[in-house]
Chain A
Amino acid sequence: MTTTIEVPTATQVHRATQAGIAHKKKARASRALVLPALVFSVILTQVPFLVTIYFSLLNWNQLRPSEIKFAWFKNYAVVFTGPDFLPSLFATVVITGSSVILSLLLGLFFAVLLDRKFVGRGLARTLMITPFLVMPAAAALIWKWSLLDVNVGMVNWALHLVGLSAIAWNTDLPVVTIIMMLTWQYTPFMMLILLAGLQSQSREVLEAASVDGAGPWRTFQWMTLPHLRQYIEIATLLGSIMLLQAFDPIAIMTKGTGGTKTLSYLLYERAFIGLDVGQAAAFGVVTVAVTIGVATIALRTLFKVFINGGER
C-alpha cells in the first residue's frame, strides 16, 4: 500500500477481477476438500443431537415399551418445574467452580516450584502428574478405601496423629469430599499448562527486573502473572469443560447425596435408574443449552484475550 491515491487503470481492474476469479476458484476447491470432513462431523455430532431432541418429546420409560407416545413438552415441564434441576445446577456450579479455582491455585503453586532448577526435577514432575493419569474410577476407589475410610484410611490416621477425631467424609462432608478428590486430580493438569507458560517467559525480562531492584514477589506480581494470564484463562476453560463432566467420584463415593448431584450425575440417574429415556433426553438438551451459554461467554472473552493479547 502506497500513501498516494492512484486511480486504477483498466488493466489493473482486469487483473484484479482475474485474481478474484482465481481466488474464488481456490476457495471453492478448499471448500470441496473440507466438505467431507464437515459433513462427517455434522452427521456424527448433530444427528444424535436432533435424535435426542426428538426423544425428549416422547413419553418413554424403558420398562413400559407399550406406552411410548408423543408428549410434546411434558418432559421439559418436569425439568423446569420439578425439584431436581435447580439444586443440581447449583451443585454443578459449586463443585466445578471450587475445584477449578482450587486446582488452579495449587497448580500455580506447584508450577512455580517446578520452574526452579533442582536435582531430581524430572522425577518430581512425573510424580506430580500421576494423579491426572490415574483413571477417574480407580482414583475414586483409592480415595474411598485407602484415604478416606473412617477406620483404616490414611487421612483419618493423619488426623488422629495430630489429636483430631476421625471424620466421616462421605456422610458429613460429601461436597468437600468430591471437591477434594477433583482438585487432587486436576491440579497436575493446571500445573502443566501454567508450567509451560512459566517456561516461555523470557529470562532477560526477569533479570532486568531484578537489576532494577524488584523483589521476587513484585517480579511475580507485575511480570509473571500478567504473562501467565492467557495460560490461566485457557486452563480455566479447559478445566471447567472437563470438570463439568465429572461423574466417577460421585457415583462411587457419595451417590449424589448432600448436594453432590451434579447435572452429569442427574442425567445418568434419569436414564439408567429412572430408565426414563424421554426425561433424560430433556435434561440432556437443557444441560447442553446451559453449557453452550456458559461456554460462549467464556470462549468470547478468551478469544478477545488472544486477539488483544499483545496489547495488554
Chain B
Amino acid sequence: MLVKKRLLILGAGLVVTTLALSGCAGAGAKSQSVTLTLATVNNPQMKDMEQLKGTFEKENPGIKVNFVQMEEGDLRAAVTADVASGAGQYDVVTVGAYEVPQWGAQGWLKDLTSTLKNDKSYDVGDILPPVRDALSVDGKQYAVPFYGESSILMYNKEMFANAGLTISDHPTWQEVAADAKILNTADHAGICLRGKPGWGDLFAPLTTVVQTFGGAWYDSKWKAQVNSPAFVEGVNFYVDLLKTAGEKDPVSNSFTECLNQLSAGKVAMWYDASVAASILEDPKTSKVAGKMGYVHAPVYKTKESGWLWSWNLAVPKTSKNADAAEKFVKWATSKDYQQLVGKTLGWTRVPPGARTSTYSIPEYKEAAKAFAPITLDVMNSVNPKQPGLKPQPWVGIQYVTIPEFQDVGNQVAQLVADAIAGRTTVKEALDKGQVIAQAAGDKQK
C-alpha cells in the first residue's frame, strides 16, 4: 500500500516536471526559431516523412517540424475543433480528398494556388490533373497531394491460365462476372469485393459500380437517386456477384481482409485500391508475388470506372507560421523529396499517384514495373468532375463532398449489407436508403 502511494506521488511529480520542462523547451525554441506542428494520419508513408524531416530542417535552419500522429477519426476531430475555434495549434494538416473541398469552401484552409504557381521549381503542372481537380474549388487549390490512388482489377494469372481464361486490359463487369463464376471453386473464391458496411469500405467500390451502371447518389439538383433503376441495377449486380462467386462472409471484409486472402492465394480476382499492388508484389508477405496481373477497373456504360483518392497536405487558415508551413508543404511534395525517399528508404516507398514525373524516374519504373504504368494510366483517365453518365453538382468519384455523406453512406451500406445476407432485398434496402439520402440532399439546396 505504502509503496503504491509513494509510486503514485513519484509518478505525479514526474508528470508535473515533464510538463514544466516541455513548456520551457517550447517557449525557448519559439523565441529563436519557428516550430511547425504537423497533424497527420499514422499511415506508413507519413511515418517515412517524419523519418526524413531532418533533411528539411537542415536545409531550412530555424524551422523545426513536430509530428503529431493520430488515427483518422481523431485527426478529423482535432483539426475541426482547432480550426473552428481558431486556436491555431496546427500549422500543417493531412486531409483526405473527401474533406479538402469542404474545408476549403468553409474557409478553413489557406488558398495555395498562387504560392504553388509562382514557384517555378515546384512545377505545379506536374501534379496529376484529376487529383488537382479533386482538391480545388472554383479554381482555387486548397491542398497538395502527398500520395494518391485509384482502383484497379487485380487477378491471379496462374488461376486464369489453369482455367484457360484470358482478360482484356479494359474488361467489362459482365466479363468479370462470367470469369468469376468459372474461377469460383471450393479452394478459392472467384472475386473478393468489400462488404464491410461503411462509406469508405463497401461504398467505395460499390459507388464506382453504380456509376458505371449509369446511377448516381444525387442528380444535378440534389435530388437523391438511390432507388432509381440504374442505382438498383448496379447494387443488384454487385450483391449477386458476391453471392454467386464472391468470398465467403463478405460483411467481415474490407481492404485488409481481401488483401490477406489474395496474398494467401485464396481468391482469383480483386477489385480494390491500386496501392494494394505494391503489397501483393512484396515476396516477403505475399505468396502470389509475380503471379498477379493488373487491368483497368471493370466498366459497363462508362469508359473508365476507377475511383480517386489522395492524402494531402494543407495549411489551416489559423496557422501562425503560414510561410514556414507552406515551405514545408512544398518540400514534402516536391520532386526532390521523391528522390530523397527513393535513395534513402528504397524506390518502392516513393509516394505514388501524385506527380506525373514520378513515373519517369528510371529506378522507380524498374522497382514498380508490375503496377506503375497502369496506376499512372488509370489515374490520368478518371474524371472526378463527372464520373458517371450524368453531370453532378460536386467533384469526386466514390464519395459526395457534403458533410452528411459519410453518415448517409454508412447507413445505406448497413442496409445493403442486410441485402447481401439475404435478410432483405436490394430494392427494399435502397428504398429506405433513398429517404436517408434525400434528407441530406435537402440540406444542400
Contact = CB atoms under 8 A, between A and B. Distances in A.
Interface of A: 61-66, 83, 144, 148-151, 166, 168-172, 174, 253-258, 261, 269, 272-276
Interface stretch (B159-167, B177-185, B191-199, B320-328): B191-199
Interface residues of B, number: 33
Given A256-B414, A257-B197, A275-B407, A171 B420 contact: yes
Nearest to B85: A65
A151 B421 contact: no
A255 B84 contact: no
B432 interface: yes
A171 B403 contact: no
Most buried by B among A66, A83, A253, A273: A273
A254 to B, nearest CB: 7
21 contacts: A61-B404, A63-B102, A63-B106, A83-B432, A149-B249, A150-B249, A151-B264, A168-B250, A168-B251, A171-B195, A171-B251, A171-B417, A254-B251, A255-B196, A255-B417, A257-B421, A258-B417, A258-B423, A273-B407, A273-B410, A274-B407
B251 A273 contact: no
Contacts of A261: 414
B251 A170 contact: yes
Most buried by B among A83, A166, A256, A269: A256
Interface string B76-88: 0100100010000
Given A65-B84, A83-B432, A150-B252, A273 B421 contact: no
B191 to A, nearest CB: 15
B266 interface: yes
B403 A61 contact: yes
A269 B410 contact: yes
Given A150-B252, A169-B249, A258 B403 contact: no
Interface in B245-274: 247-252, 261, 264, 266
Interface in B385-439: 403-404, 406-407, 410, 414, 417-418, 420-423, 432, 435
Contacts of B422: 172
Given A65-B84, A83-B432, A168-B249, A257 B414 contact: yes
A64 B403 contact: yes
A253 B403 contact: no
Given A65-B84, A257-B418, 11 more contacts: A65-B106, A83-B432, A168-B251, A169-B252, A170-B249, A172-B421, A255-B198, A255-B417, A256-B414, A272-B77, A275-B407
B23 interface: no
Contacts, number: 85
B28 interface: no
A274 B250 CA distance: 24
Contacts of A272: 73, 77
Contacts of A168: 248-252
Tell me the dominant secondary structure on chain B's binding face: helix
Contacts of A255: 196-198, 251, 414, 417
Contacts of A253: 252
A257 B84 contact: no
A17 to B, nearest CB: 45
B252 A63 contact: no
Contacts of A83: 432, 435
Nearest to B264: A151
A84 B73 CA distance: 23
A207 B432 CA distance: 64
B266 A151 contact: yes
Contacts of B250: 168, 171
Most buried by A among B249, B266, B406, B420: B249
Contacts of A256: 197, 414
A148 B420 CA distance: 18
Contacts of A254: 251
Contacts of A65: 84, 106
Contacts of A171: 195, 249-252, 417, 420-421
A151 B261 contact: yes
Contacts of A63: 80, 102, 106, 403
Most buried by A among B197, B247, B252: B252
A148 B252 CA distance: 10
What are the 4 closest A-B residue pairs judged by CB atoms, nearest first?
A63-B403, A168-B249, A150-B249, A274-B407
A61 B421 CA distance: 33
B414 A149 contact: no
Contacts of B432: 83
Interface string B340-373: 0000000000000000000000000000000000
A257 B252 contact: no
Nearest to B198: A255
B418 A149 contact: no
B266 to A, nearest CB: 6
Contact of B248 (A62, A144, A166): A166
A275 to B, nearest CB: 7
Interface in B220-264: 247-252, 261, 264
A150 B248 contact: yes
A258 B421 contact: yes
A255 B432 CA distance: 18
A142 to B, nearest CB: 14
B439 to A, nearest CB: 9
Contacts of A61: 403-404
Nearest to B411: A269
B252 A149 contact: yes
Given A63-B80, A151-B261, A273-B410, A170 B403 contact: no
Nearest to B403: A63
Contacts of A169: 249, 252
B251 A174 contact: yes
A268 B8 CA distance: 34
B208 to A, nearest CB: 21
B423 A144 contact: no
A77 B46 CA distance: 44
A170 B250 CA distance: 8
Given A272-B73, A275-B403, A258 B418 contact: yes
A144 B407 contact: no
Most buried by B among A148, A253, A272: A272
Nearest to A257: B417
A273 B406 contact: yes
Nearest to A173: B421
B425 to A, nearest CB: 15
Nearest to B195: A171
B37 to A, nearest CB: 21
Contacts of B198: 255
Contacts of B418: 257-258
Contacts of B435: 83
Contacts of B421: 171-172, 174, 257-258
